[in-house]
Structure 1
Amino acid sequence: MGNCSSTPELFEKVLEMFCGRTQHKSIHNNTKKKIKGTVVLRKTNDFGALILDRVHEFFGRGVSLQLISAVHGDPDNGNRGKLGKAVHLERSITTITSVLSAVEAAFNITFDWDEAMGFPGAFIIRNHRHSQFYLKTVTLEDIPGHGQLLFICNSWVYPAHRYNYDRIFFSNKTFLPCNTPEPLRYYREQELIGLRGNGSGMLKEWDRVYDYAYYNDLGMPDKGPEYARPVLGGSKTYPYPRRGRTDRPPTEADPNIESRLPLLGLNIYVPRDERFSPVKMSDFLACALKSVGQVLPAEIVALFDKTPNEFDTFQDVLNLYERGVKLPNRALLNKIREYIPCEILKELVRSDGERLFKFPMPDVIKEDKSAWRKDEEFAREMLAGVNPVVIRGLQEFPPASKLDPIIYGNQTSTVTREQIEKNMNGLTVDKAIKNNKLFILDHHDALMPYLRRINTTSTKTYASRTLLLLQDDGTLKPLAIELSLPHPQGDQHGATSQVFTPAEHGIEGSVWQLAKAYAAVNDSGYHQLISHWLNTHAVIEPFVIATNRQLSVLHPIYKLLHPHFRDTMYINALARQILINAGGVLEKTVFPAKYAMEMSSFVYKNWNFTEQGLPSELLKRGVAVRDSRQPYGLRLLIEDYPYAVDGLEIWSAIETWVREYCSFYYSTDESVQGDSELQLWWIELRNEGHGDKKDEAWWPEMQGRAQLIQTCTIIIWVASALHAAVNFGQYPYAGYLPNRPTISRRFMPEPGTREYAELESNPESAFLKTITAQFQTLLGVSLIEILSRHATDEIYLGQRESPDWTSDAQPLEAFERFRMQLVQIEHRIVQRNNDKRWKNRFGPVKVPYTLLYPSTSDSIRASGLSGMGIPNSVSI
């Protein structure tokens, strides 16, 4: 199809030859007042559908619009808004350059003005064509007495026979339920009823249903017991946030488990408007092509190196970025072609076809190839790396456990004062605790209940505690790493532990490097499963569902929150399909393996919505204390804590914006209490979306403006800044797996063993044989490269898809102040990064902390792996 762009014009000429006309046009009475308008839509890129659409349009079955009055009801139709005469789209005023690209086209439309109908507040659209289209905007010009009227639609419209109700779009006005013009009230309510669905039946792509389901789609029991996974959600044993309902048929082996699509199937049901845009899908697929390792057969994997599935030296790892992995021969490349389509393969190999899997250089090794091994960098990344949300202040010694002693015995730390005080710069433990100088990275309690089972897989790892000292220069100094295992005689006997302290040289230095690797493995797994997946992706999805089910598009809180839900349901659906499912990429590349999602359910038991706000979260971790003299009402105990310092500024800006916005629509606490849609939204979020936590006392009661502002601020913070902080640093720091290994494959070697002798004689080889293997590295790095990229059509904090997202002037002015405040925050972050006093902002690896840059500058858009910029939503 070398000249696809001329095909539509050619088809019109054929129609004209046979029928003497080119396109159906509406007939208007030129003696009446006309209201002209423009409809902007994006057509399907399916050529066959386009031809059929032209036929439908020729016979007068195109796209019709019918205005609905906002001021006059029809007494013959239950006083619903009076309907105008249906009119059809006229000829396109924008040339389509290619039927194979998703281009926008603008169409004229003309309405007869009916004084008896009055000002329109909505319209019905009917698609009588063969295929769906994306309706972007409808603009009406020069409405008598009113001027221009804008409808921001941004929705896919399928053929009318796919719906059992009318597709309705409202103008960009905003109304609380009680203030809705009476003629529009019925349409507002019916739109929400359609979005809720009837609660049953397998959902199809044209369905617009938002509903809840358990995570019962991760396992594949029909493949055998090793692929069975528990249902997450709906029980005290495995509590979990809800996901979007799909209602695929159950598996044969277990009627409680929903069947799955084929492995690489991406057509997973979410409401069509929740799917990626064509531009983003193109970006995603182009990058995802590099993550095809899971489809390669074992014999190909084994030929990557002379030592199957192992890196022999750190230089071998560096070759992934400097040279790529060299294929042994052309025959192997031909073998790969049997499994990977040529259009995918060309994304993976150089033009000479000799190398596979060449990755961008991660920031952590750009300036210095070995600085990541320094203790200062190991500690600094707990404050400014990819997982800066776990470190906490230590207020008791030795560190205690919250695990039930009846089940798990004594889990108190075995670290002694003598072991750490020798490295505490003259401080005693008691004095350090009193002066808020001791901190801990504690992954003990989260892992210990699962460790015995995890270690029955190919993983061999520990539950770790890392103790650190805050020094006078603001940097953290590791003091000890405790590695613990369940007692061999049973969990009730407690833990068996080893304690390692810093060393630089000889076998002691090599052992210490391994101890840090085990701690990093714990932190990597916790980061992916909890900090990233659970605490952003999973917990936000119920908010997406409830908002669309209970808040009309006319509702101010819908307009406030909707941008922060963009793409979340679809990226989560993709994750369930290929990442977090049984045998998926995450199980292959992160140490908990088949127990990964079950472990995240265990941690969700302690999830608390109100503690997701940044100030509360910092106080809970003991890295800040309340101080009314400070700008945000608290004082950081680590002054040079980049995530917290930058985050508090972002948090404050979001909170100010939300307060100004909400105060415009809610003048009193009673107006919050009387908002029927808002109250149903909040009830459903508690009872359905996070139903396993519905009885928790910490839920805000939603009885006043303060609770509404707090709730919306937390939602926006989690969906935007928190997700940016724990997501977009993945490739810069973890793209080099030795810095952030995800798996450990053998235990710490004991003196007198062959492994210990190897560690002594060849520490590089012993280190690499302990952490993530070569194939898992290729797969894991491929994954985080995808997850760390910004889409080219990303919409960032302080931006909206349309500048006219509301017709209310004061919220628009407040939003502009919010945008300008973010610009000023970025300038201050740049200044802090350039200030040499703040050592934790650069560290030995010389990587500035940019993850909370709110900027949307061209420099961010130019590089998907920029490591900066806060998207509005959990969109990747």
Structure 2
Amino acid sequence: MLQHAEQMWWKVYAEGVPNCVDIANDEIENLPPNDQFSMLKGSKFIYTTCGFEFALKGFTSNSDSWHKLEDIKLASSLRRTHNSDIVSEIWKEDCFFGSQYLNGINPTLIRKCFKIPENFPVDEHMVASSLGTSTNLNKELQDGNIYLADYEILDKMTSTNIINGKPQYIAAPLCLLWKNPLDQLVPIAIQLSRTPGDDAPVFLPTDSENDWLLAKIWVRNADYQVHELDAHFLRTHLLAEVFTIATFRQLPMGHPVYKLIIPHFRYTLGINVLARKHLVGPEGYFDQAVVVGNGGIPILLKNAMERVTYSSLCIPDNIKSRNMESIPNYLYRDDGMKIWSAVESFVCNIVNHYYTRDEMVSEDPELQAWVAEIFREGFLQNKSSGVPSCLESKASLIKYLTMMIFTCSAQHSAVNNGQFDYYSWMPNGPTSMNSPPPKAKCVTTMDAILKALPDVNTTARGIIAVWVISKETLDRRCLGNYPDVRFTENTIQKFIKEFQDRLAEISTVIRKRNRAMRLPYDFLDPSMIENSVSI
């Protein structure tokens, strides 16, 4: 068992992917005691997992296809939330489909579209019925009302899973969306192939109900893969682990940066070790229920890592790069920017207290070694990512620390906490597909849709997984809650109190807004955000 931080080492997790902690036999018991789950958290975690598995036992042993959509309700209703009930009622609606790109659990994929991609042959005639007679596609493009969800990252996923003895299928769709005059974001065209042609039709809302529904289900399946492995696992869990290990290895406990960020790494190593063994490892959840499976995970993670940039990890830059500053009802942006600003202000106070000149940052050898190790072990020395390998000023340190705290707390909450709400109704987030994407229109029946969806046991395993990993167990510490006193100065305690008060104000505003919403967005309510990646 590791006893001291200096005994913590790196190992390669997968080619082209951030390195991870090297512990004996990849067992959580071999982590340092402070990085293991507390008895309270560990026992609740086991109880939550085993209890739900028992409740779904009849489903997990059934490898048949679903016979009716209504039958899926039996499995999804064994555990319920207000939001999961709503999702199961409105999942077919186009405006709900579009809203998930703004306020669902993968809110950073969509971007404004100024020109239709060449391999997505959508023309004026195709979408005329969707846009109405008062406008046209070219005008809506010019006015900034067209958006694109592009799953190009899945294009080369040649390694797909076999579940229940059946090959599984994946697509890399292109989905065009329109912000209509009611400020609703709705899909207006979907292509399930990267190569246009007679066997790659562009599906439209004016097609048959089953054709359009299956096309949207395929997009939701693609979104599930990208969300779970890129937005969630890579960009929060794996990066948080890199930050954790480098901090233990390079910063002494008395360093002000160590004191500032260490609460945001609580239980991260523990949950990641469990995830690599039981979720994304051989014979884990992904092998049992997800199309990419254990064999496809390294491929997708490598593809995703090539797209990670510093700006994409900083929400103000991320929003700007995707031209998403002005679209209405984008609650991830609105709430996230408030939290980023609160964190940034808090970090600014701390940094300015300890570093009175820029030279104190650039000449801090422990700080520079820490940043360099994160760049080397986490971002694999990829200069094109824009991630700094050294810090030369107070401003650069403030942004870096703000990114780190936001990633480990608010960003993880945004992509984690709603998984059961949005995925427990399986057709809204199928983990895999039993049939290949349709290559023609007017051939899809409801029976064909049911046969394409995950089998009964695959569905049950998916529901169990999202219940366990999105429901924070006991022993929680919300953002800004620092019961372990590390800063003793009165000035720093004042900064902490100001940070807590500002988060409380943000929470009050969000809760008041949510009371008027049919489907509340509380993933970025500070009272619901954990300090760290701990589940």
Q: Secondary structure at the match of 2:237?
A: helix
2:358 to 660, 669, 679: 669
- The 5 Å alignment of 1:329-340 reads none
| 1:275 and 2:36 matched | yes
Rounded to whole Å, the distance in 1 between the matches of 2:301 and 2:310 is 16
Q: CA deviation at 1:455?
A: 8.1
Partner of 1:638: 327
CA deviation profile, 1:548-576 (whole Å, cap 9, x unmatched)? 11111101000110011111111111111
Q: CA deviation at 1:677?
A: 1.1
2:318 to 597, 606, 617: 617
| 1:541 and 2:260 matched | no
Contact 2:101/2:107 (<8 A) preserved: yes
State the one-letter code of the partner of 1:702.
L
Q: Secondary structure at the match of 2:191?
A: strand
Partner of 2:204: 501
| 1:521 and 2:282 matched | no
CA separation of 1:369/1:689 partners in 2, compared to 1, >3 Å: closer, same or farther?
A: closer
CA separation of 1:686/1:385 partners in 2, compared to 1, >3 Å: closer, same or farther?
A: same
Partner of 1:848: 520
2:377 to 680, 688, 709: 688
Rounded to whole Å, the distance in 2 between the matches of 1:431 and 1:569 is 50
CA deviation profile, 1:707-736 (whole Å, cap 9, x unmatched)? 100000000011000000000000011111
CA separation of 1:303/1:679 partners in 2, compared to 1, >3 Å: closer, same or farther?
A: closer
Q: CA deviation at 1:752?
A: 10
CA separation of 1:677/1:303 partners in 2, compared to 1, >3 Å: closer, same or farther?
A: closer
State the one-letter code of the partner of 1:853.
D
CA deviation profile, 1:368-415 (whole Å, cap 9, x unmatched)? 753221111111111111211211111212x25xxxxxxxxxxx2222
Partner of 1:317: 72
Partner of 2:457: 775
- TM-score normalised to the size of structure 1? 0.57
CA deviation profile, 1:612-647 (whole Å, cap 9, x unmatched)? 010011112221xxxxxxxxxxxx221210111111
- The 5 Å alignment of 1:163-178 reads none
Q: CA deviation at 1:319?
A: 1.3
State the one-letter code of the partner of 2:534.
S
Partner of 2:108: 389
Q: Which runs of 5+ in 1 are unaligned?
A: 1-157, 164-193, 197-208, 216-231, 233-237, 249-259, 323-358, 401-411, 488-493, 624-635, 836-841, 856-868
2:306 to 605, 623, 627: 605
Q: CA deviation at 1:682?
A: 1.2
Q: CA deviation at 1:699?
A: 1.8
Whose radius of gyration is greater, 1 or 2?
Answer: 1
State the one-letter code of the partner of 1:195.
A
Partner of 1:627: none
- The 5 Å alignment of 1:243-642 reads 243-246=20-23, 248=24, 267-290=28-51, 304=62, 308-322=63-77, 359-367=78-86, 369-397=88-116, 399-400=117-118, 412-425=119-132, 426-443=134-151, 445-450=152-157, 452-454=158-160, 458-484=167-193, 497-503=200-206, 508-593=208-293, 594-623=295-324, 636-642=325-331
State the one-letter code of the partner of 1:446.
I
CA separation of 1:577/1:303 partners in 2, compared to 1, >3 Å: closer, same or farther?
A: closer
Rounded to whole Å, the distance in 2 between the matches of 1:795 and 1:714 is 19
Partner of 1:826: 507
Contact 1:468/1:476 (<8 A) preserved: yes
Q: Secondary structure at the match of 2:174?
A: strand
Contact 2:173/2:191 (<8 A) preserved: yes
**By percentage of residues, which structure has more strand?**
1
- TM-score normalised to the size of structure 2? 0.92
CA deviation profile, 1:653-693 (whole Å, cap 9, x unmatched)? 01111101111111110111221211111122222343352
Rounded to whole Å, the distance in 1 between the matches of 2:395 and 2:216 is 44
2:16 to 229, 233, 239: 239
Rounded to whole Å, the distance in 2 between the matches of 1:303 and 1:368 is 26
Rounded to whole Å, the distance in 1 between the matches of 2:184 and 2:59 is 42
Partner of 2:482: 800
Q: CA deviation at 1:748?
A: 4.4
CA deviation profile, 1:468-516 (whole Å, cap 9, x unmatched)? 11122221121011110679xxxxxx99622100148xxx111111010
CA separation of 1:422/1:538 partners in 2, compared to 1, >3 Å: closer, same or farther?
A: same
| 1:195 and 2:5 matched | yes
Rounded to whole Å, the distance in 1 between the matches of 2:86 and 2:59 is 31
Rounded to whole Å, the distance in 1 between the matches of 2:65 and 2:392 is 59
Q: Secondary structure at the match of 2:349?
A: helix
Q: CA deviation at 1:749?
A: 4.9
State the one-letter code of the partner of 1:211.
W
CA separation of 1:291/1:534 partners in 2, compared to 1, >3 Å: closer, same or farther?
A: farther
Rounded to whole Å, the distance in 1 between the matches of 2:198 and 2:497 is 56
Rounded to whole Å, the distance in 2 between the matches of 1:472 and 1:302 is 45
Contact 1:720/1:797 (<8 A) preserved: yes
State the one-letter code of the partner of 1:212.
W
Contact 2:503/2:526 (<8 A) preserved: yes
Partner of 2:415: 726
Q: Secondary structure at the match of 1:311?
A: coil
Contact 2:123/2:137 (<8 A) preserved: no
CA deviation profile, 1:571-603 (whole Å, cap 9, x unmatched)? 111111111112321232222223123211111
Aligned length: 529
Contact 2:28/2:36 (<8 A) preserved: no
